[in-house]
Amino acid sequence: MKHDSRCRSIVASNVAKNYGDILALGPVNVKIDEGEFVSVLGPSGCGKSTLMLIIAGLLEPTVGFVEVNGKLLESPMTDVGVVFQDHLLLEFRTAIQNVLLQQEVRGLDRKVSVQRAKELFKTLGLTGAEERYPRQLSGGMQQRVSIARALVHDPAVLLMDEPFGALDIISRTQMRHDLERLWMESRKSVVFITHSIEEAIGLSDRIIVMSNSPGRIVEEIRIDLPRPRPAYLGKYPEFAKFADEIYKTFEALGVYHFK
Ligand SMILES: Nc1ncnc2c1ncn2[C@@H]1O[C@H](COP(=O)(O)OP(=O)(O)OP(=O)(O)O)[C@@H](O)[C@H]1O
């Protein structure tokens, strides 16, 4: 991966979102620094996807604003790759054709994009899957293709909304590791939405913990564990400390009722 595509900062200031009369999010203040991997962790319905869409410039906040590299975000971010829980691949296009959709839509150089797509297929363990259709791929492979599609244009920012949410736990753990390795090579700024405490600790430089709906930020935890992190995080005593802190926060908020 190239190293020239950078985002110096993303700042969401006092951002809140109403859907009709219902306050769905915030207000929240979020700052993502250059090359930082930040997870947003919170209970279902607290507004995580809403926050991600606002950061992407795809949804307008009711209150507050977002700045990217110090400039007000007034339209959808373009130097970005987005991955959702559903792979959203086009069934009538092969895996590589799905990835190269970015090149077509963005009018990028075909040769460079094909080369980069092939490299991504290799890094993501997809070699040999280029000419297969989505229905011929496993769920994990489909999601890997959607990650390749999000990265083929070498964006400065990667936004991921529960990208492994639909996968089994074994695939999830492998995907976590592969994403971490990929990120370590490129150090893009990443916002990663998740429900999984383990996934957040396994991947992040920093975790933003949100409350129940309407989501507010209740805690920010810097995860200073060495990388790459192992499949079984329990081997780090620090992992247990971070996980305990987050579980306690969720218990205090009433997200969990353990007796
Ligand atoms: N377009 C919409 N119109 C009305 N309400 C919405 C809309 N989108 C989201 N909501 C509501 O806003 C709240 C926040 O939704 P959002 O999808 O951002 O939460 P989330 O934390 O990502 O949830 P989950 O973890 O379950 O995916 C929820 O109560 C949801 O029902």
Statement: residue 2 has pLDDT above 60: no
Atom of ligand 1 nearest to the CA of 46: 21
Q: Which atom of ligand 1 is nearest to the CA of 25?
A: 14
Residues 188 and 252: their CA atoms lie apart, in Å, by 34
* Atom 30, ligand 1: residue with shortest CA distance: 45
Q: If you take atom 7 of ligand 1, which residue's CA is the nearest one?
A: 19
Give 14 Cα–ligand 1 centroid separation in angstroms: 19
Whether residue 257 is predicted with pLDDT greater than 60 in this model: the reply is yes
Residues near 1 by beta carbon (within 8 Å), at least 6 away in sequence = 119, 151, 154, 182, 185, 186
CATH class of 1-79+156-167+186-259: alpha beta
Q: What is the mean pLDDT of residues 108-126?
A: 93
Domain ranges in the chain? 1-79+156-167+186-259, 87-154
What is the 128 CA–ligand 1 centroid distance (Å)? 38
Amino acid identity, position 256? Y
Residues with CB under 6 A from ligand 1: 19, 24, 42, 44-50, 195, 213
Rounded to the nearest angstrom, the gap between the alpha carbon of residue 224 and the centroid of all alpha carbons in its chain is 19
Per-residue pLDDT for 1 more than 60?
no
Compute, in angstroms, the gap from residue 211 CA to the centroid of ligand 1: 14
Which pLDDT tens digit goes with each residue over 165-188?
888 888 889 989 999 999 999 899
CA of 1 to the centre of ligand 1 (A): 34
ipTM for this prediction? 0.97
Nearest atom (ligand 1) to Cα of 52: 18
248 pLDDT more than 70: yes
Smallest CA-to-CA distance from 95 within 167, 149, 44 is with: 149
Span from the CA of 19 to the centroid of ligand 1 (angstroms): 9
